[in-house]
Structure 1
Amino acid sequence: MTSVVEARQRSSAGASTRAGDDSPLPSAHSLAPAKAAKWERILYRRQPYPDNHTDDSFLERLVLNGRITPRRLSRVILDATTVSQQLAVVALKAAAVAHLLDDGSGAGCSRPHSLMLLDGVLLLCGVIANVVLHGPAHAARQSARVGPALLLGLFALTPLFHTMTAAISDDTAVATATCSLLLHLLTHDYALLDSYTARLGGSASLGAAMFAAALLASRLPTTSAVFADMLLALVLFVLFPFLRRDVRRASTAAHLALTAAVHAATLAAVLALPGSGRLIAAGYVAAVAGIVLACPVWLIRMMAFKEQINGPWDEAKPDLSLLKGGRAREARVDREGGQGVGF
């Protein structure tokens, strides 16, 4: 009995001892150093902070719309004329095919010759513009290098174009050509005006345009019509973009005059179509007005709602001028406050 009482006394004494020693667990603040080191924006030194630490000065370097270039309505309209020119080119090519296919009148046999005459006038105008912009020597070299190969190659391939897709039904050919021309407009290299290359960048666009031209050429009745139509396609889709680029660089007024001339020629060709020519012309005018006027105004209005934030969280962009050394690097370091480029 005595042993049982002693065991109970020892148990209660142990419990009271454990209760007296009970204390809260140490917090994170108690384990931290008395005075934490100041956080620095560097990577080459270990700091007592987690990798995703954000200090109070994180948002001090936030910039709102710092990299947005303000746009002027006149400049946007001028750039939109390039898109309208390409739309005019596609509409002019489609109108030419429609005129060649329309044999209801007695003028059907003379239309291929009229189109060949138009092709010759366009080529002559291109040569004259090349002489004015680049000089006679450059124009002579370009004409001698491109002209004979273009005409001879097209003349040799005309019978092939005439029969290559003749087995395809007319409805399928027209639908496929329409889709190809739309693809051409969507993928055209509109940045060619700002480049110095001697080749068209939009290979898919050029391929789609020539594919549509080949499909429509097989619908034409004679080989002379096929030759005239394919020559017009080469002039409009291959040669004309370079002329537009040179004219745009030479003079803004000349660029606007060329744009007006192209639209006038296209509108005249569309209005001359029998049947629904006026309706198609009205749709064409509405499309051009939407591209040149409505879309630029809409873009300028939308720019007022654009918000772009930049700050320390942006990805670092390499500055290739630092690899050259010398004054470029020194100037860059000075602009960065003597710390160079980094975090």
Structure 2
Amino acid sequence: METTQRRWRKVAYGGMQPGFDDNHTDDTFLQEMVMNANVVKRDMLKVMLDSVSISQYLCIVALVVLVWAHTLNSTITENFLIILDITLVGSGFFILLLTAKMLSFKLLLNYAIKISFFTTGLYVLSPIYHTLTRSISSDSIWALTTSLVILHLFLHNYSGSTIKAPGALENPNLTSNISLNASIVASLLIASRLPSRLLVFAIILFSLQVFLFAPLITYCLKKYSFRLHLLFSFVLMALTLTCVYRLHKLLFVVLLGLLVFVNLVCPYWLIRIQEYKFEINGPWDEAKLCFNITD
């Protein structure tokens, strides 16, 4: 009497099948293999436009460092910094009113109250910040500040905002918070080397306005109009390069090379390495269980 051989079935669970080894596969096993199913084909121009956000924030941080340098050299006065702080706050609220779609009067008032408490706290604590690093050498301060600024740039979220934007569903992630804290500590270290308490207050307020609210403003601007975002970015790059050139020509060359590397070289590399990306999907992938829950 002939016995019919059982047919092998591809099952995720259920143990060994009689008559077959545990690792047995038949000729149809590789028919379901799919290559490069999830590989995204990137466009060179789109990658270059997306990289503008990185260059934009690099220029923002470069401008902050320029203000720090001029303040330490006593070429910027206290009155100029206070006027600059007031101008930044007014400009920021104006841009938010124009660009943020879900910005209500209640939320705007909440921002204003928080900024008022924030400014008052900085003014009260400015004498402490003024003497914070009196026992530490200047070389250690410069080295630590440079390291913190690099850490800030490395961990910064270039596609989002430092604080939760109006209408955003997700809060800033852990690395973004670490980046923000690094910028705050760097600002305090720079401010502690200044001669007067009012200058300490003005420079800390300026730095925190930029590090806290500049990503929010640029995020809302980009969501409102991508063309306006590009225009603002290119104007900011030109302004930063001009200011850096007047300060030091070698730094101008370094910054220009960095912007070219971010906007041209990195997108080109990304497009080229896509040719070597090879992804295989098939029956050997981890099983994804689906449960139909009915009432």
Could you state the TM-score of these two structures normalised by the residue count of structure 1? Answer: 0.76
Deviation, 1:287, is 0.4
Question: SS at 1:192's partner residue?
Answer: coil
Q: Quick check: 2:53–2:159 contact (8 Å CA) kept in 1? A: no
- Judged with a 3 Å threshold, the aligned counterparts in structure 2 of structure 1 residues 325 and 222 are, in CA distance, closer, same or farther, namely farther
Task: After TM superposition, list the pairs within 5 Å mapping 1:97-246 onto structure 2.
Answer: 97-103=68-74, 108=75, 110-134=76-100, 137=105, 140-192=108-160, 196-197=168-169, 199-201=171-173, 202-246=176-220
Q: Quick check: 1:131–1:139 contact (8 Å CA) kept in 2? A: no
Task: After TM superposition, list the pairs within 5 Å mapping 1:1-343 onto structure 2.
Answer: 36-42=5-11, 43-44=13-14, 46-48=16-18, 49-103=20-74, 108=75, 110-134=76-100, 137=105, 140-192=108-160, 196-197=168-169, 199-201=171-173, 202-273=176-247, 277-317=248-288
Q: Quick check: 1:131–1:138 contact (8 Å CA) kept in 2? A: no
Superposed CA deviations along residues 111-153 of structure 1, whole A, max 9, x for unmatched, are 3322222222221111111111246725642442222112111
Pairs aligned (count): 284
5+ unaligned residues in a row in structure 1: which ranges?
1-32, 327-343
Q: What is the identity, as a one-letter code, of the residue corresponding to 1:152?
A: T
Q: What is the identity, as a one-letter code, of the residue corresponding to 2:113?
A: R
Distance in 2 of aligned mates of 1:161 and 1:268: 32
Q: Report the structure number with the largest CA radius of gyration.
A: 1
% same residue: 32
CA RMSD after TM alignment: 2.4
Distance in 2 of aligned mates of 1:294 and 1:176: 30
Aligned to 1:6: none
Q: Quick check: 1:183–1:208 contact (8 Å CA) kept in 2? A: yes
Deviation, 1:184, is 0.8
Distance in 1 of aligned mates of 2:190 and 2:292: 54
Deviation, 1:46, is 4.9
Distance in 2 of aligned mates of 1:312 and 1:270: 57
Distance in 2 of aligned mates of 1:180 and 1:318: 45
Q: What is the identity, as a one-letter code, of the residue corresponding to 2:9?
A: E
Q: What is the identity, as a one-letter code, of the residue corresponding to 2:116?
A: P
Which stretch shifts more, 43-52 or 299-308? 43-52
- Judged with a 3 Å threshold, the aligned counterparts in structure 2 of structure 1 residues 265 and 232 are, in CA distance, closer, same or farther, namely farther
Higher relative contact order (CA closer than 8 Å, sequence separation 6+): 2
Distance in 2 of aligned mates of 1:241 and 1:184: 13
